[in-house]
Amino acid sequence: MKTTIINRLTIETRKKRMNSEKDRSIMTHHTPIRIACVILIGWFSVLSDSLHADHWKCGTPLLIKDTQLSQNSNQVNAAPAAPAAPARVGQTQRFFVHIPEASINATCIAVGIHCYIFIDTEYQDMLSEATAKGVADTFDTNIYPKVQQWMGSELKPGLDRDSRITILFHDVDMNESGQDYGGYFAPQDLNPTSPNSNRRDMLYMDIFQFRERSRHTFFSSLTHELAHLVNWYQNGGTTDQRWLEEGIASLVEWGVYGTVHNLFVDNYLANPRMSLITENTTDTYYGGAFLLLLYLYEKHGGINFIRTLADEDALGLSAISLTLGEKKHIVDVFLKWGIANWYNNTTRGNEYGYQNLRNRRITAPTPRITNYPTTSNYIPIESWGTQYILLQNLPEILHLSLITNSQSRLHTNVAYLPPHANSLIVTPIPLVSALDDAEFVPTHEITIRNLDRNGQMLLIVTSEHPQSFRYVARTGTTGEGTDIEELDKISRIELEEPFNTLSPISIDYLSRINSQPFSIDDSIGVSHITSNRYPKIEPMSQIHLSSSYNSIVIQDGNAFTTSKWGLEIFALNPSPIRVGEIATPGEAQAIAIDGDTAFIADGKAGVQVIDTENPASPRIVKTLGGFQDARDVHIANDELYTVDAIRGLLVFSQRDIVNINNPHPRKSFKTAGIPFKVTTNEQGTVYLSDNAQGLYILSSDPLGGYLVDATIPLLMLDFEIFGKYALTVSRNLRIIDMGSLLNPQPVSGLNTPGITSSVKFFEGLLYLTDQHAGLQIVDVSNVQTPRLISSHLTTGSAKDVALLYSNSDKKTYAYIADGKGGIQTLDVSKPEMPIWLNNFIANGDPYALDVHTDGAKTLVGIANGIGGLKIVELSKPYNGQVVKDIHAISGSHGALCVQIENNHAYVGTDAGMDIINLMTEETELHINTSNPVWGIEIKDGYAYLCAGSLYVVDVSNPMRSRIVSRHEISGDAYKITCNSEYAFVAALEGGVYTFDLSDVTRPQPISHFPTDGAATYATSDDNYMYVLDNRHGLLQIDIQNPQQPKLISEYTETELPITAALNANHLYLLDSKSIQIIDKRSMERVTRYTQIQAPNDLAINNGTLYLCDLFQLSMFRIQTDDSNLAVEESYEQTTFQPILSTSTSKNNLFQNFPNPFNPETWIPYSLSKPIDVSLSIYDVQGRLIIQRSLGFQKKGDHTAHWNGRNREGEPVASGIYFYTLNAGEFSATRRMYLQR
């Protein structure tokens, strides 16, 4: 049946693609991902029963589920996203859309105060400019300010240095109807390194729902999607667990427009036994979660509670628990909420009903007890589901017992309603057996006396983990128990520890990191575009600042981890002690260990072979080239199995890797889609998953390839093979019986609150990582009914886990690669009660830097986002280490900018400015501002802060610093630089302001230069001001008369200019893709360096260029001319240059492979020297099909890729084609055959 669905949906998608216009570039390799998602989660029903509005469907949960898929589906030749300059009405831009993945052209038809309105050009006639202006006005005046009131703000400006949010109308789901998703928020748009990121704050709305539904429904759904975007920022750069993510957006939707999705509310109240956190249905998203948050809003602090909850970086129930505070127990609140759902009558007590939802209550069938004694059978209860039992015809003395079938405890209350009374008496039922005593099953008991026969008692039960319980209700003996009037004095806080708010026993940080030589691989792409002119920059060293851990392997007492930065090695004792590291030139993803050798799947840089014999000094000894995007590695049977996003499975002989400089794969298998993971069993069977066919089961072909024995059409991001079973994860756990390869059968499954990312089978238990819910430990002794034993929330985004049994202390430890949360260490010797031992923290986002020289000592201050402030001390050029790591920074987003002056660091945050004494590492004072501080300049004892407005702070005595003046300007003051007389303030869309500093306490604006785009930076020399305008690029402005600035020239060959620095006759321009050196005299480019990832800031000091780039501080030597090189202080580079395909010493063009091909092919060629290369493809008539610049390539062997499409992105027909390679004076042509 699943295969039929796949085929049908694929055909329908292809039909739509064929009928679309040429400028619509559907990214076809993503289509199977969406189809697989549909199979896994099912289509939501088309519903219409809701209060105030027609029903709509939010697409954000689908994209939250696809976060890992998006990360694992890099597009090699993706169309570029929209430019970053502020939009104008009538301007057409190209955007990525995500349901389904595609790229479209869209036109701006309205600009508001807080938004841009774009419409897909194909449907432009469906939205008039007047209507769009009305949408913008409503967004500006009602939706945006009210969502900020409920949740706080996004961080402004966004990645594109623009404070407006882009609202794009398009045909969501491409079904030309309003039946499916009404809108969505795509988290990948806020990831600057994601290949399909629009790099901006953005919301997507369905144009057909806009036409077919009421305006109230549309504006309500737009509010809902904006809440998702703000929540991403408020959570520290992540979405929440699915139920709470949708719940808080639904509550804000209600808060702004009064919308209640009654159908889902009623469905939840009809089945409250379902798990609130793992059921992952619309009934829990928009029913149960909404009800819980409405209850919290009404009973625990109103909007302030919701705003504080949104601001909490913890996720799920832990976030609610932390927001409630130490004096309130979340279990008690949860159970009282359950009682409110039953009675919904505030006359019984304010806590036991809703003020804003009076006519809804539990409708589920409920057991009623009227005879005593009564003993029940075992009753199943889900994780944070609620079970009700009503007791009537009560004895005077009642004894209640609840007994579980596991080591997990219950949480239970009784609510007694006397006859002829309104007030409820509610009390918890205490636990009477010890949880840590293996001889006892958890049992809860209570005896209550002085009950009235005509009264009634409600028993409500929940549990953290799925289990079953039974109850015994009997008549008590005389004198036994507690008087009913005394029960309301029992506090749950006295009976139970706080829920899931534990801290690790110890915390360690990524600190005291030394500089190391640069790791560069020119095969990734163009790294240096230059002429024989100077100056040039030469990469010298780098210092590791932060990590995002995604894979972990343990061998011989060491943990080997990959972050996107490289390889890190830890000794385990049992907490990790960092002993060594090495940066890799690509994006380190998966890792395999064989003895003293580590193999790293390094993205576009191929596979790195690293010698780890000395863990303190790992070194790259070889790079396996020929990869488009290496994703996974696995070692078995003296072979290295590698997975490439484009080429599929490539298998190398380990003997070849050792003995041959340029080994080639001995075997290969091309998958239909993008592959994820490979593993093998002892018999040599290969298991390989992709996003099109699911799981391939392969056996060796005597001719050197692989035969497909079977496929299982289920998306598997990770899996373990256990006998005849495949234990798979793709958002949730699914167990497949592969006993019959011709008819594999799903056996069972288990849902988790977030996105399940990896699975490990260890000593009879299954350990799952969930990106939003941490570690989940599952008993699979009975594969028919996997049982969640325990869970442990982590502080980051759990990606992988490795297990270790220690013979020395006889304990089992779990080590979790927790994304930016670091490495988590848990003692799981008792899997029902994991103990959090250690959190190794390496988070951060280097936003900005400042270089300060004092004699022979150079300090570099780095504003590292939530990682705090790092201080690097350089003892000699390019050689130093992190000497201070200060984490106590105010605000939710940490350090945004920094200036160092007189042994103090002045740190801008989203809450103001922290003044930190670098000798004591203590914050001496905090200066509050109403907006984030993005720029600081210190001059003559005064700090000038850019925080929307321009603030002047007297810092002559840091401990007594105070604001002395504030200056409002048009736009948002963003960055500032000063010379001896003037301050230049880049105010984004407000342009650039020049202030006279004659009175340093009250600078006076003397001129304003408006920019067409957003002014992101301004600096000056004696005669000119240089302004970065993200529409036009670099502007040179004559300021010889500072009161009348005059534009002299423009340099436009840049995309999203970020910052700039002046050095002699040159300007060093940092944009989103490169460092460019511009000759100020001619305003022409001299050099461009492109091997950067996600840069944020640069500075120049004493001939060294410092760059903040993603996870590191990079240092470059500035070469001014040939004669200077001899006298410059040299840096001893010990970087091992990886062995790549460099055996060829002459130009050559080889036959493409495969040939014939369908739909894509690879074209090998070799170069005798570094040179610019281009590839052209012609049909048999000699007409140019496509021409591609391959850029500046180094000497050696290379491979180009053609996807069988023309310049418009359309597939070309079957037939003979010719490909021509041009490299300087060399030109060669060969023939190939495309067979569709």
742-754 per-position pLDDT tens digit: 888 999 999 998 8
Report the 10 Å Cβ neighbour count for 1096. 22
CA distance 161 to 1058: 9
Name the band, by pLDDT with cuts 50, 70 and 90, for residue 122: very high
Whole-number CA gyration radius for the chain: 32
CA distance 338 to 359: 15
Rounded mean pLDDT of the chain?
86
Is 515 in contact with 452 (CB distance < 8 Å)? no
Using the predicted structure, report yes or no on whether residue 276 has a pLDDT greater than 50: yes
* The pLDDT value given to residue 1193: 83
Assess if CATH 2.130.10.10 describes domain 848-1119.
yes
Is 583 in contact with 542 (CB distance < 8 Å)? yes
Using the predicted structure, report yes or no on whether residue 1126 has a pLDDT greater than 60: no
Q: Sign of dihedral through CA atoms 278, 281, 282, 287?
A: negative
Report the 10 Å Cβ neighbour count for 962. 11
Domains 716-834 and 848-1119 share a fold: yes
Name the band, by pLDDT with cuts 50, 70 and 90, for residue 696: very high
CA angle 250, 794, 896 (to 5 degrees): 75
> What is the crossing angle of helices 302-311 and 215-234, to 10°?
50
CA distance 43 to 181: 10
The distance of Cα 1146 from the centroid of its chain, to the nearest Å, equals: 45
Say if residue 1233 is exposed, middle or buried (CB neighbours under 10 Å; 0-12, 13-18, 19+): middle
Listing DSSP states for 563-632 in one string gives ESSEEEEEEESSSEEEEEEEE-SS----EEEETTEEEEE-BTT-EEEEE-SSTTS-EEEEEE---S-EEE
| Cross-strand pairs, 548 | none
> Hey, what amino acid is at 613?
E
Dihedral (Cα; 216, 218, 219, 221), 10-degree rounding: 120
- The length of the chain is 1236
CA distance 682 to 672: 26
Name the band, by pLDDT with cuts 50, 70 and 90, for residue 1145: very low
Instruction: Give the 3-state secondary structure of 406-474.
Output: CCCCEEEEEEEECCCCCCCEEEECCECCCCCCCCCCCEEEEEEECCCCCCEEEEEEEECCCEEEEEEEE
CA distance 1024 to 981: 14
CATH number for the region 1148-1234 comes to 2.60.40.4070
Three-state secondary-structure class, residue 963: strand
| Cross-strand pairs, 480 | none
Name the band, by pLDDT with cuts 50, 70 and 90, for residue 680: very high
Using the predicted structure, report yes or no on whether residue 979 has a pLDDT greater than 90: yes
- C-alpha distances (whole Å) from 602 to each of 327, 607, 609, 716, 1091 are 49, 5, 10, 21, 15
Per residue in 909-958, pLDDT (tens digit) is 999 999 999 999 999 999 999 999 999 999 999 999 999 999 999 999 99
Assess if CATH 2.130.10.10 describes domain 544-713.
yes
Which of 458, 463, 367, 453 lies closest to 413, judged by CA?
458
* The pLDDT value given to residue 851: 96
Side-chain half-sphere CA neighbours of 608 within 13 A = 34
* The pLDDT value given to residue 1207: 85
CA distance 823 to 575: 9
Using the predicted structure, report yes or no on whether residue 40 has a pLDDT greater than 80: no
Which of 953, 954, 988, 982 lies closest to 969, judged by CA?
988
* The pLDDT value given to residue 80: 44
* The pLDDT value given to residue 82: 46
Name the band, by pLDDT with cuts 50, 70 and 90, for residue 769: very high
* The pLDDT value given to residue 439: 58
CA distance 403 to 385: 17
pTM of the model: 0.83
* The pLDDT value given to residue 1143: 32
* The pLDDT value given to residue 79: 42
Name the band, by pLDDT with cuts 50, 70 and 90, for residue 699: very high
- C-alpha distances (whole Å) from 835 to each of 502, 618, 823 are 9, 32, 15
Determine how β-strand 935-939 pairs with β-strand 1084-1089: unpaired
The highest-confidence range among 54-68, 374-388, 522-536, by mean pLDDT, is 374-388
Structurally, at CATH architecture level, domain 366-475 sits in: Sandwich (2.60)
Which of 316, 346, 320, 347 lies closest to 333, judged by CA?
320
Which of 465, 460, 402 lies closest to 272, judged by CA?
460
Name the band, by pLDDT with cuts 50, 70 and 90, for residue 818: very high
Is 602 in contact with 608 (CB distance < 8 Å)? yes
Say if residue 568 is exposed, middle or buried (CB neighbours under 10 Å; 0-12, 13-18, 19+): buried
Name the band, by pLDDT with cuts 50, 70 and 90, for residue 16: very low
* Mean pLDDT calculated for residue range 290-318: 94
* The pLDDT value given to residue 438: 52
Which of 1190, 1211, 1213, 1192 lies closest to 1200, judged by CA?
1190
Is 750 in contact with 729 (CB distance < 8 Å)? no
CA distance 906 to 848: 12
Q: Where are the beta strands (DSSP E) in 1150-1183?
A: 1161-1167, 1171-1179
Name the band, by pLDDT with cuts 50, 70 and 90, for residue 533: low
pLDDT above 70 as % of the chain: 89
Per residue in 222-242, pLDDT (tens digit) is 999 999 999 999 988 888 899
- C-alpha distances (whole Å) from 161 to each of 107, 269, 616, 975, 1029 are 20, 45, 41, 11, 10
Is 1191 in contact with 525 (CB distance < 8 Å)? yes
Sheet of strand 516-517: strand arrangement: 516-517, 536-544, 1112-1119, 1104-1109, 1095-1101
List CB contacts of 113: < 8 A, sequence separation 6 or more.
Answer: 140, 164
Is 861 in contact with 900 (CB distance < 8 Å)? yes
* The pLDDT value given to residue 37: 35
Sheet of strand 823-827: strand arrangement: 506-509, 835-841, 823-827, 811-817, 800-806
Side-chain half-sphere CA neighbours of 348 within 13 A = 21
Listing DSSP states for 838-906 in one string gives EEEE------EEEEEEETTEEEEEEE-BTT-EEEEEEEETTEEEEEEEE----SSS-B-EEEEETTEEE
* The pLDDT value given to residue 52: 37
* The pLDDT value given to residue 509: 82
Structurally, at CATH architecture level, domain 716-834 sits in: 7 Propeller (2.130)
* The pLDDT value given to residue 343: 95
Using the predicted structure, report yes or no on whether residue 900 has a pLDDT greater than 70: yes
Domain ranges of the chain: 86-237, 240-356, 366-475, 544-713, 716-834, 848-1119, 1148-1234
CA distance 788 to 780: 9
B/e letters for 514-528, b = 16+ CB within 10 Å, e = fewer, are ebbbbbbbbbbebbb
pLDDT above 90 as % of the chain: 65
The distance of Cα 411 from the centroid of its chain, to the nearest Å, equals: 34
Sheet of strand 591-594: strand arrangement: 591-594, 597-601, 607-611, 619-624
List CB contacts of 748: < 8 A, sequence separation 6 or more.
Answer: 734, 735, 783, 784, 785, 786
Is 698 in contact with 707 (CB distance < 8 Å)? yes
